[in-house]
Amino acid sequence: MLLLEHYAVNPDCDRNIYNDHCETPSPMHITLPCKPLTLSQLSTAATTDTITSTAIPAPTCTPGVNLIANPGFESGLDSWYEYDYGNVVSGVQNTGYNSGHSFILYTDAGGYKMGFLTQEITGLIPGVTYTFSYEYQYENPNVGSSIQCSFDTGPSESITNAYTTGTWLAGPSDYGGTFVAGGTGGTLSCGFFSSSPQTWYLDDLFIGC
């Protein structure tokens, strides 16, 4: 280490003359390092931040949970909205597929008839594949008729003009039994279409995984 002496002097005093007002200056000691400090010594210690990533789990839902309210019409048409075009009679009867009730819709003769049954569905998880199903029955096999149910993400259909009357069938029979949720909710709409007299029964609707 190098030791330097520096004298603090009153600027009002002559450097070589000392009087009553000017005392003899005393040395000030300054210690300097003999070698220059390195850059690493002058800088603060570098710190390294560790960035960790957490994998986002794939969306899942609880199997068997039905997102449709009052799916078997045990509480009448609660949670459902029903409207018709033409001479259509609809309601809830006291017999069903697995329970004591089911939805019934009847159309008479004289032009194309249709009825609709809708419900707002919530609780979907985007990206999850859901199953859509129901049980249905019809009475007249000799007319062009169908049950067409759709959700916001796509349609489904069950043709009701085969020779399987008086028997509960699993629907949709033709297409649309699964869909991938694009949002957290949407509208379920089931339409009943016929050009001649027909009676449909609908029960135990299900949307879940």
Rounded CA separation 176/133 (Å): 9
- For CA atoms 151, 155, 161, 167, the dihedral sign is negative
Q: Write the pLDDT tens digit of every residue in 149-182.
A: 887 767 788 888 777 788 899 988 887 888 888 8
What is the DSSP annotation of 153-164?
A: TEEEEEE--SS-
Is-above-0.85 flag for pTM?
no
Q: Write the pLDDT tens digit of every residue in 11-29.
A: 554 455 445 555 555 555 5
Query: What domains are there in the chain, each with its CATH number?
Result: 2-39 (no CATH), 81-208 (2.60.120.260)
Other Cβ atoms less than 10 A from the Cβ of 3: the count is 8
Amino acid at 82: E
> Mean pLDDT over residues 35-52, rounded?
55
The confidence score (pLDDT) of residue 142 equals 79
List for the chain the helix, strand, coil content (%; round to 5).
0, 45, 55
Q: Write the pLDDT tens digit of every residue in 118-151.
A: 999 999 999 999 999 999 999 988 788 888 888 7
H or E segment and range at residue 78: none
